[in-house]
């Protein structure tokens, strides 16, 4: 498995966003195109890293986020 990743520009960095899948809100910290390979096959996915109210970050697919403001 390759450990490559790259930061992706996004229109909502450091803004409050909502994860549509879970309904949780937090601050968008970064969007990263990350290799999420399994069984030796390369699979890339754009993941949104969101910092919730507890201070812990979680990820979701970037298409699952919207501005919460």
Q: How confident is the model at residue 13 (pLDDT cuts 50, 70, 90)?
A: very high
pLDDT beyond 80 at 12: yes
Domain residue extents for the chain: 5-67
Domain 5-67 has CATH 3.10.150: no
For 34-62, letters b (16+ CB in 10 Å) and e give: beeeeeeeeeeeebbbbeeeeeeeebbeb
pLDDT at residue 2 above 70? no
In the chain, the percentage of residues whose pLDDT exceeds 90 is 75
- Which pLDDT score is estimated for 3? 58
């Amino acid at each position: 498995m390759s450990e490559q990743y790259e930061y992706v520009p996004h229109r909502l960095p450091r803004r409050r966003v909502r994860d549509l899948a879970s309904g949780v809100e937090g601050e968008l910290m970064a969007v990263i195109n990350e290799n999420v390979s399994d069984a030796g096959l390369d699979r890339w996915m754009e993941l949104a890293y969101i910092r919730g109210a507890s201070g812990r970050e979680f990820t979701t697919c970037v298409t699952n986020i919207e501005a919460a403001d």
